[in-house]
Chain A
Amino acid sequence: MRVVVQEGDFDVGAELQALRQGDPRIGALASFVGLVRDVNDGSGVTEMTLEHYPGMTEKALTAIVDEAARRWAILDALVIHRVGRLLPTEQIVLVAVAGGHRGEVFAACEFIIDYLKTRAPFWKRELGSSGARWVDARQADDQAAERWRD
C-alpha cells in the first residue's frame, strides 16, 4: 500500500505496471484518474491550485487505504494526489487497486476515491473568467461517501 502527495505529474501506465509487478496472485487491477476540467458549475476554469495539510494529508490517505484493505480482500493499492498549480486536462489523482478478482478491486477503488473526496485535507482554488474562487464542497460527494457507511 502506498500513498504519495506530489507536485509533479505521474505516468499511469508505469504506476499500474509497478503495482502489479511480480505478484501472480493478482487477477484484477482497477484504476481511477481524476482530471482538471475547464468548466465547473457553469463557469470557465483556466487554472487550479490545490492546497493541502502536509502531514495530515498522508495520514488521512493511509487511513482510507487501510480501511479499504480491511473491508475487501485486496492485494495492493496506490494513491497519488497532486498539489500546487494545475491546468485543464492535467491529471489530479490516481487511485489503483490490485486484487484477485474484479469485484473487490472495483469496490475498493470507488470507496477510496469517495472517501478521499470527503476526508482527505485538500482544497481546490479555481481561477477563471470571473476571478479566483475556492471550490465549494458538493453534497453529492458527501452522499457518495455515505453509501459506504458500515
Chain B
Amino acid sequence: MKILYFAGLRERLGVGCEELELPAGVSDVAGLLAFLSARGGQWAALATVRNLRYAVNQEMARPDSPLAAGDEVAFFPPVTGG
C-alpha cells in the first residue's frame, strides 16, 4: 500500500510518501496508525499529534475505516485552503 503525509506532518516526519505491505493484523486506519507509530523515532509523533486527519483512497476517512492491500492512505493536519 501507499502511505502519504502532507504539510506540517510531512516536514515533522521527514517523509512524504512510503510503500509497504498491509501489516498482518491491521484492518483499519487506527490499526495502521498504531503500527506506524510503534516504529519509534520520529514516527512516535503519529500517536500523539493532535487533530490528525486521514484519507483512504482519496476520500476522507475515520479511525475505523477499513483497509485492504493496495489502498492509498494519507495522513495530514486539518486543511487550511480557500
Contact = CB atoms under 8 A, between A and B. Distances in A.
- Residue from A92, A124, A138 having most chain B Cβ neighbours under 10 A: A124
A116 interface: yes
A123 interface: yes
A123 B58 contact: no
Contacts of B11: 134
Interface in A55-74: 55-56, 59-60
A130 B79 CA distance: 22
A123 B82 contact: no
B82 A51 contact: no
Contacts of A60: 58, 60
Interface residues of A, number: 29
Contacts of B55: 53, 56, 121
Given A53-B76, A123-B6, A59 B59 contact: yes
B38 interface: no
Contact of B80 (A55, A59, A124): A124
B81 A116 contact: yes
B78 interface: yes
Contact of B79 (A59, A113, A137): A137
